[in-house]
Amino acid sequence: MTKKVNTKFKKLIKYYNLINHDLIYENSSINRYENKIKNLDKNKAELLIKLRNSLRNIKNCSLKKSATNLVFSDGNAESKIMIVGEGPGANEDKEGLPFVGRAGKLLDKMLASIKLDRKNVYITNVVNYRPPENRKPTEEEVSRYFPYLIKHIEIIGPKILILLGSTALNTIIGNEQVISKARGKWNEKKIGNCTSFVIASFHPAFLMRQPDQKKMAWIDLKMVRQKIKDLKIKIEK
């Protein structure tokens, strides 16, 4: 009996470490919040643990050599809304979580504007280790992480996939599209074994440099809000 309890306890520890639930984060972008434990599907939890371990043990990767932490994900792994950004910055590298710097603060405000927060979405990046000096990932680096990103999307199985910035856009949609022309359009796309409604918008870091584009990002956010209603996605309060 004791052995069974210990085994279950070890699995729970793995589970909590994976999805960061039941922990209180000191995060200036959201002024401390507590993630509640979700009844995450056991198979999904195991697949995410396996994927995370694969990224921790990735070989022939210069990004990993220069980074401090793996930045895997944040949010609710059961969410049907997934956000993909470019890659970790200095703050994300330090904390091991995506979007925790200034861009993260803006992302939280953007989500709040359509009555969402990190309990309602799942967040990751195209690359999971910080590019030096916060530079844009190279094509080679994006290609190195592409299979992991596709697997990540397959595991989460989002109905709505939001691509923030040109790197995420071109990684998933391809064809070297310009974000200013590609944003604000829905594409129903099969990604691996998952079919999602995909929309691109400006990265929060870009919006901080070009605040006049926030009005366009607001249009995109309203489109997301409407799609949530159309697909009847349940949002946890």
Contact 228, 80 (CB under 8 A): no
Look at residue 33 in the predicted model and tell me its pLDDT.
29
Please give the radius of gyration of the chain, using alpha carbons only, rounded to the nearest integer: 17
User: Would you tell me how many other CB atoms lie within 10 Å of the CB of residue 158?
Assistant: 23
Segment 99-146, tens digit of pLDDT:
999 999 999 999 999 999 999 999 999 999 999 999 999 999 999 999
All structural domains of the chain, each given as residue ranges with its CATH number in brackets, are 59-230 (3.40.470.10)
Q: Kindly indicate the confidence band of residue 166, based on its pLDDT and cuts at 50, 70 and 90.
A: very high
CA atoms within 13 A on the CB side of 88: 25
pLDDT in tens, 79-112: 999 999 999 999 999 999 999 999 999 999 999 9
Burial class for 214, CB neighbours closer than 10 Å (0-12, 13-18, 19+): middle
In the 8-state DSSP scheme, what is residue 176? T
What's the pLDDT at 32? 30
pLDDT tens, residue by residue, 199-233? 999 999 999 999 999 999 999 999 999 999 999 99
